[in-house]
Structure 1
């Protein structure tokens, strides 16, 4: 490699294009060639190409490590994405189950409400019928009581017209005797 660099440096130098004696210090092309060769020699002596190669190799190793880390991160991201997609699918399924359960509960609640409403209506109808029956019985009692009151009053009027003082006294005595017999 070193020899190849030196050979290329010599063949590509502008010193071959100059006229006159080439190996003279008065020839600027020769002096530039010598300085260039000296510079290349110093670089080779200081092992700059090896250091540059080492730096490039280190950089390549670093890039390779970064690529491996990026691959690992990519795989981790894929796993994480798959995990989140799985969780999302589970959440969607769970929400669908919750919705179905809520619908079933709503339907059951509606059916129960209908049954409760029918039962409540039946109770109210029965209570209304009881109230009507009670009102009828109360009205019948009131009519009977009124009829009895009217009949007693009419009977009292009739008896008062037919009764004399002696008959009233005998009737009172008979009533007292009847009460006395029942009490003793």
Structure 2
């Protein structure tokens, strides 16, 4: 029985030689003392270990990537919300600016109207003041004329009285006074 494998020994296994039907000899390979079927088992164990470890690494990598994707999505959602808020604020301030411009135009128009009213009132007041001062001047002139006339009259009366007194003194004496008094009594 030349084809039977050698019994297991406790030492390092040695390669064995096979002889096939044609009489050729074939030596079976061995590496580090492992037979080919044992190498297949070791390769399967290594492959399963890589698959098991690779699956955990894959899950870890996938979990990390999923977390990154979730963070990025959250940041994108936050950015969308911020953009919407910014657009709302921009629209609000644009409306406020438009209203402020309208209010400013209304204030300018109102101020122009008030200024025109103030100018018109000032003109009317100045005309009234000029008219009042003119009347006051005319009243002063009239008063001065009256005073002058009164003074002239008083002087004329004084002069006339003095002249009449002088004339009476010159023309009438005691006899003329008696005759005049008699005439007045007779007329009564």
C-alpha separation in 1, matches of 2:175 and 2:73? 147
Higher relative contact order (CA 8 A, sep 6+): 1
Q: C-alpha displacement at 1:75, in angstroms?
A: 0.9
Unpaired runs of 5+ in structure 1?
Answer: 1-20, 26-33
C-alpha separation in 2, matches of 1:22 and 1:104? 114
TM-score, with length taken from structure 1: 0.67
Q: C-alpha displacement at 1:39, in angstroms?
A: 8.1
Within the candidate set 117, 134, 152, 2:143 is matched to 134
1:84 and 2:129 aligned? no
C-alpha separation in 2, matches of 1:158 and 1:137? 30
Name the structure 2 match of 1:75.
Answer: 84
C-alpha separation in 2, matches of 1:78 and 1:92? 21
C-alpha separation in 1, matches of 2:171 and 2:30? 187
Name the structure 2 match of 1:153.
Answer: 162
Cα gap change, 1:128/1:173 in structure 2, threshold over 3 Å: closer, same or farther?
A: farther
Unpaired runs of 5+ in structure 2?
Answer: 1-28, 34-42
Task: Report runs of 4+ in structure 1 exceeding 6 Å deviation.
Answer: 36-39, 169-175
Q: Higher Cα Rg: structure 1 or 2?
A: 2
Within the candidate set 105, 113, 124, 2:114 is matched to 105
TM-score, with length taken from structure 2: 0.65
For 1:57, what is the secondary structure of its paired residue? helix
